[in-house]
Amino acid sequence: MKTLHCKWNDSRITSVETNSLTPMDLHLDNRYLTRDLPRIEQDGLWYPLLVYRADPTWWNNTWIKHRSAQCRYVDPCVNSDGSIWAIKMGSNRYQTAVHLGYNAIDIIMCNDANECVKIGKWFAQCDPLNNTNSLPYMGLYDYEHLL
């Protein structure tokens, strides 16, 4: 198994097969090729994907009707636990991993979509891996007003 491990260390990180994940947003402009691919090829994967367990009924009856028209749809993978492991934060990094031939990747399985967004915002705005003066995680949706 070829696994793309992230540089960020956290006890919640686990590696899962890419085919067990379902990206929520696959941008039609393939931005991962110009943004994420060069960075990951040069520096590796900094942070894990942020994933949560989505209910298939919600996915197929609610989310599918409200998803962005700027994104491609993929059929969801329903896992043995009966849920869709939805990539809420990191679909471009997921595409990069698949493009590079990885069949497993590091994730954090969050409790819900909101937790994914909160952790993702902290990674993006505070960059704790590369910023020694980073703010600690506080479960916020926005850290910019604190910086």
The count of domains in the chain is 1
Domain membership flag for residue 129:
no
Q: At 34, is the pLDDT very low, low, confident or very high (cuts 50, 70, 90)?
A: very high
**How far is Cα 45 from Cα 95, in angstroms, rounded to an integer?**
12
**pTM of structure:** 0.95
Q: At 72, is the pLDDT very low, low, confident or very high (cuts 50, 70, 90)?
A: confident
Domain membership flag for residue 35:
yes
Domain limits at 53? 3-112
Token representation of residue 22? 């379902």
* 17 pLDDT above the threshold of 90: yes
Question: What CATH number does residue 22 fall under?
Answer: 3.90.1530.10
48-65, pLDDT tens digit by residue?
A: 999 999 999 999 888 888
Domain membership flag for residue 34:
yes
Domain membership flag for residue 121:
no
Domain membership flag for residue 128:
no
Mean pLDDT of the chain: 95
How far, in Å, are 38, 90, 129 from residue 13 at the CA level?
A: 24, 14, 14
Domain membership flag for residue 81:
yes
74-110, pLDDT tens digit by residue?
A: 889 999 999 999 999 999 999 999 999 999 999 999 9
The per-residue pLDDT for 147 is 78
Domain membership flag for residue 9:
yes
Across residues 19-35, what is the average pLDDT?
A: 93
Domain membership flag for residue 135:
no
> 49, 105 in Cβ contact below 8 A?
yes
> 87, 97 in Cβ contact below 8 A?
no
